Chains A and B, each alone.
Chain A
């Protein structure tokens, strides 16, 4: 079984400061990892993904995430937060097709509410 944990329900950060939203996963094998953002009453927007290769992945809107296999983590980061980054962030994990338990199933964390204040 695969699972994702987002240990913080809410993260508060001042505008201009760096932000980190934490994600850890539990899966057998080499996972695909994703970050999505959701604004109120909207669908999820894809930010970035880790498939293989470089552990530092760059995505949309200046976000990046670092894959750490030994710590089974995939934390989302941004060097300088904006008020407009305030939203709900979801981490998700999936196993590649052809791997036992792999395929379509994307397992989501419970989400972290990011609040960026002036």
Chain B
């Protein structure tokens, strides 16, 4: 059963703590993305990666970091520098050679601050 998985479903962060959100896909997609969703603001791009060992900043990268060591995995770390991390985080992937390059999304991780 192909798809994108994100874990955990809920994550709690304490002040000054770094936390890492997992994203795994078995769709054999080259490109992967991280978005942040806040009520009434749509989705905003944090980071994206087009191939292994390469990634670029999106519109709101400050306070976040990523790695892309494997094609199927694109973890996102929310660092202590991100002062307002409470949000719904969505991971997506796409096939770069497919017409239109539709992005497919995982189920999301909700991050809450204690």
Which A positions have Cβ atoms within 8 angstroms of B? 9, 32, 34, 36, 41-46, 49, 51, 90, 94, 97, 104-106, 108-111
Contacts and interface: CB of A to CB of B under 8 A. Distances in A.
B102 interface: yes
A43 B102 contact: no
User: Of residues A36, A44, A51, A97, which shows the largest number of chain B Cβ atoms within 10 Å of its Cβ?
Assistant: A44
22 contacts: A9-B40, A32-B101, A34-B100, A34-B103, A41-B108, A43-B4, A43-B6, A43-B105, A43-B106, A43-B107, A44-B90, A51-B99, A90-B42, A94-B101, A104-B33, A104-B48, A104-B94, A106-B33, A108-B42, A109-B42, A110-B42, A111-B40
B102 A49 contact: yes
Interface in B50-108: 50, 58, 88, 90, 92, 94, 99-108
Interface of B, helix, strand, loop or mixed by DSSP: strand
Interface residues of B, number: 27
Interface of B: 4, 6, 31, 33, 40-43, 45, 48, 50, 58, 88, 90, 92, 94, 99-108, 110
B105 A41 contact: no
Contact of A104 (B31, B104, B110): B31
Contacts of B40: 9, 110-111
A57 B110 CA distance: 33
A111 B42 contact: yes
A32 B103 CA distance: 12
Nearest to B10: A41
Contacts of B4: 43
